[in-house]
């Protein structure tokens, strides 16, 4: 989650205003620019979204392979490294595509912790699940330990994501 938050802040602030993980944000930016007639900006969102979709598809195929998890982790590392190897401004959309592909594999690979369904790259679903656990802890008598565990898991994931964003935002602010 820390890496996903840091990566989204990095690509948003330094790689052309595109999200690596939050494809909802890219869809929003795509539609806004489409409506405004900024057609020359659409490609960077479209390519990121397509790369993300291809990453989901690739992980679906990879998980069927022997040593699929190892292959997936290796691909994540390779695609992250390749994205960071591309100099700033030297097609940022290519770096964003590499990051989006890797993030999609991560999202598909890591889907639960202790039987709690999680999103390993974004916070909306985790925030919903956190509030659901809090509400269940308050309103239901049974399984209190389970709800407390869920609160810890979801809170940790959200804080890790936020910390990643904050670290990159601070570095960009202080180094620029």
- Residues 119, 70: contact at Cβ < 8 Å? no
Task: Dig out the tokens for 39 from the structure.
Answer: 């057609």
162 neighbors 3 (Cβ within 8 angstroms): no
What's the pTM? Answer: 0.93
pLDDT at 89: 82
Amino acid 71: pLDDT: 97
pLDDT at residue 141, rounded to an integer: 86
> Count of CB atoms within 10 A of residue 9's CB?
22
Q: pLDDT tens per residue, the chain (176 residues)?
A: 999 999 999 999 999 999 999 999 999 999 999 999 999 999 999 999 999 999 999 999 999 999 999 999 999 999 999 999 999 888 999 999 999 999 999 999 999 999 999 999 999 999 999 999 999 999 998 889 999 999 999 999 999 999 999 999 999 999 98
Return the SS3 of 81.
helix
Nearest to 164 by CA among 4, 8, 6: 6
């Amino acid at each position: 989650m820390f890496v996903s938050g840091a990566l989204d802040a990095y690509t948003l602030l330094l790689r052309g205003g595109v999200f690596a993980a939050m494809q909802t944000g890219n869809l929003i930016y795509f539609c806004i620019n489409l409506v405004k007639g900024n057609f020359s900006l659409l490609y960077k969102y479209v390519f990121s979204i397509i790369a993300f979709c291809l990453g989901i598809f690739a992980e679906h195929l990879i998980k069927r392979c022997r040593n699929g998890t190892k292959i997936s982790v290796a691909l994540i590392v390779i695609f992250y490294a390749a994205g960071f190897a591309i100099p700033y401004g030297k097609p940022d959309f290519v770096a964003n595509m590499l990051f989006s592909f890797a993030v999609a594999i991560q999202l598909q690979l890591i889907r639960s912790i202790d039987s709690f369904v999680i999103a390993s790259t974004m916070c909306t679903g985790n925030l919903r699940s956190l509030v659901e656990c809090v509400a269940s802890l308050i309103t239901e008598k049974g399984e209190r330990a389970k709800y407390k565990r869920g609160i810890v898991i979801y809170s940790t994931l959200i804080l890790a994501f936020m910390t990643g964003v904050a670290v990159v935002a601070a570095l960009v602010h202080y180094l620029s």
